[in-house]
Structure formats: structure tokens, C-alpha cells
A and B are shown apart, each in its own frame.
Chain A
Amino acid sequence: MKLKKTSLLLTLGALTLLSACNDEETHVSPTIANEALTTVQYKLTNTTDPTDTVTGQWEQLLDNNGNPLPVDVSKANLNLKANSTYSAEIVIWDKTQTPVFNVSDEIKERANYHLFFYQPLPTDTTYVIPAPTGSDTYPDPIPTLLTLTAKLNMSITLTDHDTNTQQYPVGLTTLVKTGAASTGWLRIVLRHQPNVKDGTFAPGSTDLDAGYNVTIK
């Protein structure tokens, strides 16, 4: 009986200690790896003539130490027909991996906090990407030779949506409408907005900033 009483008292003591234990834990978890967005292909197909396809490629590879090499803009050209409508998709590759990794698929899976912004330049309407801040507005290969009287007659509508409770566009697929003949540039920015995506440009950080020369004729 004495043993029983002792056991019970020990049990009650242990329970008291359990209740007094620290209930708070904190941990910081760093990422293991990120993809490199080395190659951006913007593929357009004329909606009235499927044989009319245009692909522009913007590429910035990395050296063996992971440092960015100069941007290759030799294929970053979009030659479009005036007064036409194109369905378009953006395909992004990570060429640092073997085999080459399709980052677009990853972005599609993570669409709830990614958002593309397409900025035709020059423009006389409100900037989709915030107003010019010097060279920041014109990533390679776009020169900073903006002529404010000129305008690139091009409008882009995002056609895909995420699965957030309040749905927002994503921008992996788009509809491009061209107007009268003009020349200019198309800037494409991918914003990474973890738990802050609200359809606007500001929250989050930039994953990708690419540009194309555009000729409409």
C-alpha cells in the first residue's frame, strides 16, 4: 500500500511538471535550393491564322560560379502584324539544370503567389509596372531611349487565374492585341508575392525582369 501511495504521488508530481513545461517553440527554416530563370520564351499565335506564330527569347545564363552572364538579346524580337490578335504563353527554362527544367510548370503549381506584369513601352496610358524610375524601367535589352510622343500600339490581357479564394490573374497565358504599325518594347516582370498577392504590383519581390524589342507592321 505504501508503494501504491508513493507511485500515485510520483504520478501526480509528474503531471504537475508536465503542465509547467515550456509550450513555445520557434524555428527558422531556410530554403534548400531555388531555380534559376535563365531563359524566357514568349510564344504568340495569331488567333485567325494559327500558322502565324512568333517566338521571342530572352536569355541570361550563369557562369560556373552561378554568376549571371551578359543578357543574350539576339532572339528577343517580336515581329507582329498590325491590327491582329494573338494568344500567347510564356515559357521559362532553367538551363543550369540537366535536363533543362521547365520553370513555368513550377510557377503554374505556385500560381497563387506569382503574378506576371506586361508593360508595352512607350505608352500613353497608366503604367502597369510602376512609373519610370530611371534604368529600372528598361531592363536589357530595352534601351532607355523612350520617346514620349511615340506609343507602342499593343495591349495585353492576362487570361489565366489562380485558385486563391479571391482569384487573381497569373499571366502564364495572355491575349495580345496589336493596333497600327509602331515600334517599341515589351517589358515582362514576374512578381513573387508569398501570402501578399492582391493583384497589384507592389507587394513581394521580382523573380524575373525581361524585355523584348517589338515591331508591329
Chain B
Amino acid sequence: MAIILQVKDLVTKFYTLDGVVNAVNGVSFELNEGETLAIVGESGSGKSVTMMSLLGLIPMPPGKIESGSASFNSEVGLCDLLQLSPEEMREIRGGQIGFVFQDPISTLNPILTIGEQISETLIRHKGLSKEQAREQTIKLLSQVGIPDPELRYKAYPFQFSGGMRQRVVIAIAIACTPKIIIADEPTTALDVTVQAQIIELFKELRDALGVAVIWITHDLGVVAGIAERVLVMYGGRPVEIAQVADLYKSPKHPYTLGLLGALPSLEAKESKRLVSIKGTPPDLLIPLKHCPFAWRCDYAFDRCWEEIPPLISVGDKHQAACFFDIEEGGPHHD
């Protein structure tokens, strides 16, 4: 499988009146063609800022991408997303990289019809004529499961329910047959039955179009059903990367272990007490010299307070940023 996106050591900071917010502190990952990678983390873990940095959507100032690279294997060859000019970025964003955000009502323009908004993408990126774009839009609408697409072409966003609006946003994302779709909490604002519909739709489209998906979420339940690999983030750093089955079966980072323990199980007959992670997430205003999870971690020992653990290999395609081997019950041997 060819790598389509390789992110290396991305660091993004925000210079605010309160101080420097260390939002993303060195994120590296790769995305293969047609693969679904989930990025999981709680609020403030840096998962959204990572994606905004890649898409060139960080407001600068106060934001600043301090270092890193993101080489994207585009149609015209390799390019570094972080070095592109705003014009070049606009060509890629919405074209070769589609995106779906959490809240469809603020993504869509309330005073343009659904049809105009989808056509716009096609005209802008593919150079279609208005008539061609209209035809293509109607096809897209039916592809994302909107009934009566010809009628709905002329509808406005307020006439749609939340789930239908998210379908429209997905239609825009896939309009130019992108190589990557970045979906930032696409189902969080939706009800559980509608969430299930959208997840199914994503899976269908992914398989039909062969597009790679980066799925950002805080919900480990959703991840289990859609992702092939998972990146867990904490305090602006990746703490674990693994194939989905390995992550759930044998989590190697204490934070991942805690997150999984905090989820109630639907199958259990007797409810066990939930495992809670003590304390609260780190304050990103303070630059850390040690493991960001140390003060919430039951396994922390001297070394965890002295240096930041790097990602190390702990199994087949499985990396974790922890000095402690949970299964062995002691520090990793170097």
C-alpha cells in the first residue's frame, strides 16, 4: 500500500494573551491509500488542531505552525501541505482533500441552496459548466442517500434535518473524488440512530471510492466499527498508534487502558464499577519536560517525571509512548 500522507513532527502553538498554548507538540503519522485512520482524544488533546494545521485552517495569528512537514502524494506529485501558498492550498482543500466537520449547520451557507453549494465545488475545482455541475450534483445527492435529489437541489439548509445536512456536507466532500477525507467528529452532533446511518454511509462511500479517511473523534465506540488503525492523542502528543483490534485487545499506554475502562459495557449483566482516570487533562499553557500523563498515571515512576517518553515499538505496527510495560509490570527494557 502506498503512503498518501506522511506527517512528521508537527508542532502548532497559539500565542494568546494568557501565554503560549502548546496545542500540538510533535505529531507524526502516516496514512495509506484507502485506509481509515481514527484519531482519538479528549477535548484539548490536539486532535482537531492537528487536522486544521494540515488543511491550512489555523488562524495566524494567534496560531503558528512552528515546525514539521506533511508530505501529500497529490495528483501532481509530492508536496508539503505546510509549505503551500494559500492559493495552492485552496486548490487541494475541497478538491483532493475533502473534509466534514462536526456541525453541518455552520458548515453550510444558510442563504445558498444545497445544489448551489455542491455545484460550486465542482465548478471551482473541476471546471465543469453550470449544467454539467447540476447533473453531477444530482447524482451526488442520490449517492449520499437524499431522496428526490432533483427537488432537493433547490432546498435550503434550514429545510433539512441534522442528519440530512451532514449528508449534504459529505456530498461536498466527495464531489471532486478526493484522495483523503478528513472527518472531524462528523457524528457527534447527531442522535444515535442518525449517527448509525451516517457511519454506514461513510463505510459505503469509502469502499466505493477507495478514499482514505482520517476520522477524528472522542468516541472509542464509533472507532471500533470504522477504523483500521487508531492514533490516540493526549496533551498534544500521540501516545499510542495501533491496528484497531490490537488497541482494544491489548492497549499498551495507561491512558488508552483508562479510556477503555471508562466505557460501560452493553453486554455486561452486572455493571462493574467503571475505571476512572484520576485528575484532569494537562494545562497546555505549561510546556512539559516529562510525560504529560504522569500525574494521572498509576504506573508512573522516576523516569516518567524526568523526560518525555518517545513512541517506541511495542508490537506489530503498534507503538506507544510509555516507559512502563503494563503487561510485564515493570519498565521497558531498552
**Bound pair: A and B?**
no
